[in-house]
Amino acid sequence: MPPFLIIAGIAVSKEPDRIFAQPLDQVPDFAFNEDVVRVFPDMIKRSVPGYPTIVENLGVLAAQFAQPNSVLYDLGSSLGAVTQSLRRHVRSEGCRVIAVDNSAAMVERCREYLKAQDSMFQELLPVEVVEGDILALQFQPASVVALNFTLQFIAPEQRLALLGRVHQALVPGGALILSEKLRFNDEQEHALLTDLHVAFKRANGYSELEIAQKRSAIENVMKPDSLEEHRDRLLAAGFSKVVPWFQCLNFASLIALP
Ligand code: GEK
């Protein structure tokens, strides 16, 4: 296991993200490979405004929706930050967490971090980390489903069907918590929030080259929707209510009720 720090009970690698620091002849499409896994905690914190607040409060919100003897899903779990937050906050009887990611490198490291969490705290919810595609998942009855910055990596034409399956799996009283980067239909609003996001990354130590190369690496693999598109799609998938609970610049998190 690489060196890691414990911050507020979260095990995180301390390796800084320098992936796009040197000029590349050709910028390959972004992939969740071993190189990204090594620097992921630093990368996501310096790139996603509000990420630590969203992750910690996702656990707090989940505790309000968790129903006894049900599953809590962390879909696109990466290194398990959301899973760790669920385990810090949810106290309902008989709940267990299923974390799913299709990156083998992420899953391997996630299991190590969860083992570290197990060795530090007692009476944590049981957790299973599954390496697999969330599009092929056979859902069990669930009270909380977290899609924390994952839906944007799913092919747009697959998103509605996935949300339909999530909706079907949710038990009464449960919720989907969906966090995403947003795009905006109003051009001026889109340009302003994009510029402010660049300023956020700059303030977190990324150079212009890093910002530009990351942008071109990610543009083919990550396709953000607008808040209106999310709301319409969630309602079309069967959800009855969509409530935004957090937004920082062009990143937001929504609660969707079954
Ligand atoms: C966090 N939730 O730290 N099936 C399973 N996993 C997938 C799929 C798929 N079809 N597509 C992408 N992923 C995390 C952050 S990162 C977001 C989530 C980001 C996985 C992918 O391997 C990656 O680990 C994750 O979704 C997206 O709160 O890096 O911006």
Contact 87, 235 (CB under 8 A): no
Which residues have CB under 8 Å from 101's CB, separation 6+? 32, 76, 77, 78, 107, 110, 129, 130, 131, 132
Give residue 67's pLDDT band: very low, low, confident or very high (50, 70, 90): very high
Q: What is the pLDDT of residues 156-190, one digit of tens each?
A: 999 999 999 999 999 999 999 999 999 999 999 99
Ligand 1 lined by 84 (C-beta under 6 Å):
no
Ligand 1 lined by 85 (C-beta under 6 Å):
no
Ligand 1 lined by 178 (C-beta under 6 Å):
no
- Best residue among 42, 144, 150 to mutate for probing ligand 1, ranked by most atoms within 8 Å of CB: 150
Ligand 1 lined by 139 (C-beta under 6 Å):
no
pLDDT at 22: 85
What is the number of the ligand 1 atom nearest to the C-alpha of 78?
24
Q: Is the pTM above the cut of 0.85?
A: yes
Look at the block and give the residue holding tokens 């959800």. Answer: 239
How many whole angstroms separate alpha carbon 243 and alpha carbon 247? 11
Residue range 80-94: average pLDDT?
96
What is the number of the ligand 1 atom nearest to the C-alpha of 133?
4
Q: What is the pLDDT of residues 223-252, one digit of tens each?
A: 999 999 999 999 999 999 999 999 999 999
pLDDT at 192: 98
Distance between Cα 122 and ligand 1 center (Å): 28
Distance between Cα 149 and ligand 1 center (Å): 7
Ligand 1 lined by 133 (C-beta under 6 Å):
yes
**Which is more confident, 122 or 168?**
168
Length of the chain: 258
What are the boundaries of each domain within the chain? 1-258
Distance between Cα 211 and ligand 1 center (Å): 20
Ligand 1 lined by 106 (C-beta under 6 Å):
yes
What is the number of the ligand 1 atom nearest to the C-alpha of 36?
29
Ligand 1 lined by 250 (C-beta under 6 Å):
no
Q: What is the pLDDT of residues 208-217, one digit of tens each?
A: 999 999 999 9
Alpha-carbon Rg of the chain, whole angstroms? Answer: 18
Contact 33, 43 (CB under 8 A): no
H helices of the chain, in order, are 34-47, 51-65, 81-89, 104-120, 156-169, 187-203, 208-218, 227-236
What is the number of the ligand 1 atom nearest to the C-alpha of 54?
28
Cα dihedral 98, 101, 104, 109 sign: negative
For residue 73, which of 164, 150, 139 has the smallest C-alpha distance?
Answer: 139
> Domain 1-258 has what CATH class?
alpha beta
Ligand 1 lined by 78 (C-beta under 6 Å):
yes
Ligand 1 lined by 41 (C-beta under 6 Å):
no
Cα dihedral 9, 51, 2, 73 sign: positive
Contact 81, 139 (CB under 8 A): no
> What is the full DSSP assignment across 232-252?
HHHHHTT-SEEEEEEEETTEE
- Best residue among 34, 78, 137, 253 to mutate for probing ligand 1, ranked by most atoms within 8 Å of CB: 78
